[in-house]
Amino acid sequence: MADPKEPGNGAVELGTPNAAAPTGTMSTRRLRSEDYNDYSSTDVTPEGSPPDGMNGFAHPESYQRFGETNGTTWYQTLIHLLKGNIGTGLLGLPLAVKNAGILLGPLSLLVMGVVAVHCMGILVKCAHHFCNRFQKQFLDYGGAVMYGLEATPSACLRTHAIWGRRIVGLFLIITQLGFCCVYFVFLADNLKQVVSAANGTTNDCSSNRTVVMTPTMDSRLYMLSILPFVVLLTFIQNLKVLSVFSMLANVAMLVSLVVIYQYIVRDIPDPRNLPLAAAWKTYPLFFGTAIFAFEGIGVVLPLENKMKNPRQFPVILYVGMTIVTILYISLSVLGYLRFGADIQASITLNLPNCWLYQAVKLLFSFGIFFTYAVQFYVPAEIIIPPLVARVSERWGWLINLLLRVALVCVTCVLAILIPRLDLVISLVGSISSSALALIFPPLLEIATYYSEGMHPLVIAKDIAISLFGFVGFVVGTYEALVELVAPAATVVNATTVLVQ
């Protein structure tokens, strides 16, 4: 369900050969897409351009394969694509629809899904172009942006092209650590609700049954209680071991989603009292949550290059993202219809306090707990090895562990400072996900093909998408910060409020 999003969202498949570091030692390799053994590229045309130019994906006949024997099948690639795009953001979408309206919300999700897939296609197309031009077997997101800047007519951008890779890497780290902050808040809120209702939990799952909540400690204390266990979990540095935890987490969250769906489709009240469009002031919060959920662009290049037959990837991308979009819209709409104005920051907090649904909360929390280690691996492998390289080998292992403790503590402290799940998701989505999913890809297309000649409508389209992402970045971040500093007088969405 939630694999590392490259974070770079550069996600990597945890079970790939040669991906794991030796047990008990720290891998000094960065978790980057270049670590894959088998790649795909495109044949170079005499002009050095992709066969189809700017019209879309490279032509199927242009692919040249490297290392087919270890490549993934179309089915495996589809599963990995779904896992890389479905995570905790899904559970916050019902509240996002409330912030947009029962009509405007689903329509906006559909539009954002179409735009997100289009941007994924742009990234793949530009990466193919530079693979042709520079005889590269593979380029990751940052590399494509760097070469894109080198292809621009601007001498200043060409001189500082390396900053393209660095900026993308920075946003990937922010995104990934942001996911980890979300996990801390999610775990604390769900565990607090389970503990508060423990004395009154029965087998009666009636939705109109009131459970008396037992006073318990603040959710921030739950975060501190969880911290030592999370630190110990991040000491696991072997990807093969993490892949086992990732599989268990995916199974746990899949089972939980099935149970959640079967509950929300029953006894849906009259939806006529729900607003078709909410106040515009809350729409930026919708944007942040929605783009947080759709920010899976980083898994695209690694998955496409890992395939045995990359000719099938365009179809897999469209089919997979269609499934993701349908899942997002259905759960968000059904969740909002089922719970109305009482919808919480995570739909799990709206489930009845009976043993079945308490088990669902614990099961999903179990999955999120182990997913933390998988998501944490990406920024850890980017940040820690260069710092460890500065000290002697004798102290390397200690510095490695101390840096891991420090990074985990940073995510915990940030979660404590922003203990509202809806605002954490919206902030991460607005700040970093909007840049990776909406702002950078259209600008990359302009940088890549402008000197070769682009249709004015294509340029206008790319500028419009980037401006949309930038406006969402600014307004979404501003509204989330305003809501954090001065929350509304009647906040029913705060994760500290428990639905009885």
Q: What is the pLDDT of residues 41-52, one digit of tens each?
A: 333 333 333 444
The enclosing H or E element of 225 equals helix 219-234
Asked whether residue 475 carries a pLDDT value surpassing 80, the answer given is yes
Average pLDDT over residues 7-28: 39
Assess whether pLDDT exceeds 80 at residue 330.
yes
* CB within 8 Å of 388: residues ≥ 6 apart: 26, 28, 396, 399, 400, 403
Residues 6+ apart with CB under 8 A from 91: 186, 346, 347, 348, 364
Residue 211, pLDDT score: 55
Q: What pLDDT is stored for residue 272 in this prediction?
A: 85
Q: What is the mean pLDDT of residues 273-302?
A: 87
Distance CA 87, CA 21 (A): 26
Give Cβ neighbours of residue 405 (< 8 Å, ≥ 6 apart).
231
The Cα–Cα gap between 231 and 237 comes to 12
Is residue 216 pLDDT above 90, yes or no?
no
Q: Picking from 199-213, 251-265, 463-477, which range would have the lowest pLDDT averaged per residue?
A: 199-213
pLDDT for 490: 40
Query: What is residue 49's predicted lDDT score, i.e. its pLDDT?
Result: 39
Of residues 372 and 310, the one with the higher pLDDT is: 372
Nearest to 104 by CA among 345, 343, 295, 329: 329
* Distance in angstroms (rounded) separating the CA atoms of residues 18 and 481: 43
DSSP letter at 42 equals E
Per-residue pLDDT at 50:
41
The model's pTM is 0.76
Residue 111 has pLDDT above 90, yes or no: yes
How far apart (Å, rounded) are the C-alpha atoms in residues 376 and 4?
8
Residues forming beta bridges with residue 40, ordered by sequence position: 65
- Among 5-14, 128-137, 156-165, 319-328, where is mean pLDDT lowest? 5-14
pLDDT at 71 over 50: yes
**pLDDT for the residue 188:** 92
Query: Residue 409 — very low, low, confident or very high, per pLDDT cuts 50/70/90?
Result: very high
pLDDT greater than 50 at residue 14: no
| Cα–Cα separations (whole angstroms), residue 426 to 43, 248, 423, 470 | 42, 27, 5, 15
pLDDT of residue 209: 54
Residue 307 and residue 304: Cα distance in Å, rounded?
A: 6
pLDDT at residue 118 tops 80: yes
Residue 206: band (very low, low, confident or very high) from pLDDT cuts 50, 70, 90: low
Distance, CA of 329 to CA of 108 (rounded, Å) = 10
pLDDT of residue 210: 53
Q: What pLDDT, on the 0 to 100 scale, is given for residue 75?
A: 81
Q: How far apart are the first and last CA of the chain?
A: 28
For residue 451, the SS3 value is helix
Percent of the chain with pLDDT over 70: 80
CB-count burial class (<10 Å; 0-12, 13-18, 19+) for 224: middle
Looking at every residue in the chain, the average pLDDT score rounds to 79
Residue 61: pLDDT band (50, 70, 90) is very low
- Distance from the Cα of residue 151 to its chain's centroid: 29
